[in-house]
Homo-oligomer: A and B are copies of this chain.
Amino acid sequence: MKNITTPTTTIERLPLYYRYLEKVNSEGIEVISSKQLGDGLGIPSTQVRKDLSYYGEFGRRGVGYEVDVLMKNLKKILGLNNNWEIVLVGAGNLGQALVNYGGFKKLGLNINYVLDIAPDEIEGNLDEIEIYPMEKLNEVIRDNNIKIAIIAVPAEGAQEVANKLIDSGVEAIWNFAPTHLKLPEDIKVRDEDLSIGLISLSYYLSN
């Protein structure tokens, strides 16, 4: 019976729901309807309900969703109870920005280890975190049983870094290098190709 797979688009909306619930929760709101939740995010209420329905029945008909109940469920669904330890490879501008981005830590996503080919040459805003040389990659990942890695190195070096990460035990990669990584099927890769966003705006303004 449960032969239905969750659409990938649904999975990408769940974090939005979670964050919006955090917001209304901090405002003291205790119950929210799919309409209100959707309006806050530009998503139809019918889609909100459909998305949630892949995971259970979290609301009450005629009433809505209890904010704290839905948050707790989404947190679990998204794996945010795991307190992930994450390694970042590449401490350039973008890497530093990611480490300093405040939003991750409170979600249980901790970028605790940073590596770079030239740790001594890094200038910027990473004063309080130790930067390891690339030679320590295997050690850092194995010793801390790290499963998630971020690649923020230039395109040329990304494939080699990815291979090493996987050899060391990493299972999921958030890839900011503008290149297609060829990796085993069971490794989860999320490409975050920043230039697509800006180029697509250029496209829309021109057409």
Query: Chain A residues in contact with chain B, CB under 8 A?
Result: 11-12, 14-16, 18-19, 40-42, 77-80, 82, 84, 86, 92-94, 96-98, 100-101, 103-104, 107-109, 123-125, 147-148, 150, 171-174, 178, 180, 182, 188, 190, 192-207
Write out the residue numbers on chain B whose beta carbons fall within 8 Å of the beta carbon of A42: 180, 182
**Are A197 and B174 in contact (CB-based, < 8 A)?**
yes
Write out the residue numbers on chain B whose beta carbons fall within 8 Å of the beta carbon of A82: 202, 205-206
Write out the residue numbers on chain B whose beta carbons fall within 8 Å of the beta carbon of A78: 199, 202-203, 206
**Are B200 and A11 in contact (CB-based, < 8 A)?**
yes
A203 is contacted by which of B11, B104, B171, B199 (Cβ under 8 Å)?
B11
A198 is contacted by which of B16, B109, B197 (Cβ under 8 Å)?
B109
Residue of B nearest to A202 (CB): B79
**Are A148 and B202 in contact (CB-based, < 8 A)?**
yes
CB distance from A164 to the nearest CB of B (A): 18
**Are A79 and B206 in contact (CB-based, < 8 A)?**
yes
